[in-house]
Amino acid sequence: MNAPLQTASRIRALNDLFRTCFIGGRVLITEGITALGQDFTSGCVEAVQRFSDFSADNDPYGEHDFGCVTVDGRKVFWKIDYYDRDCRYGSECPADPAQTTRVLTIMLASEY
C-alpha cells in the first residue's frame, strides 16, 4: 500500500474509533441540536455513532470525516476536524494521534 493510502487508512481507523466510541477527541453539539431537547440530542448522538453509509460520493478521500443522518425528520450533519493538541491550530499530521485532537461537531444541516 502506498503512503497516501496508508495515511487515509490510518485516519479512517482513528475517525471511526472516535466517532463510534468518542475515544481520542472532543465532541461538540450545537445549540440548534440541544434546543430540540435531550431525546433529540441523544438520538443524534446515537445516529452519528451508528452511521456507516460511506461511499465515494460522500467520502471521496476515504477518511470517514463527514456524514449526514436524519433524526425525527430533521437533517443532521456531523464532521470531524483535526487540531493540534492544544486545539489552537490545524493538525500537521491527522494520522498521528500523539499530535492531533479530533473534534466531532454534530449540527443541524441548517447550521452548516
Predicted pLDDT of residue 6: 79
Structural domain span for residue 79: 3-111
Q: Note down pLDDT in tens along the chain; length 112 residues.
A: 456 657 999 999 999 999 999 999 999 999 999 999 999 999 999 999 999 999 999 999 999 999 999 999 999 999 999 999 999 999 999 999 999 999 999 999 999 9
Predicted pLDDT of residue 4: 62
CA 44 – CA 34 distance, rounded (Å): 10
CA 33 – CA 99 distance, rounded (Å): 30
Predicted pLDDT of residue 98: 95
Domain total in the chain: 1
* Residues listed for the chain: 112
CA 82 – CA 35 distance, rounded (Å): 26
CA 97 – CA 26 distance, rounded (Å): 13
Predicted pLDDT of residue 59: 96
Predicted pLDDT of residue 3: 61
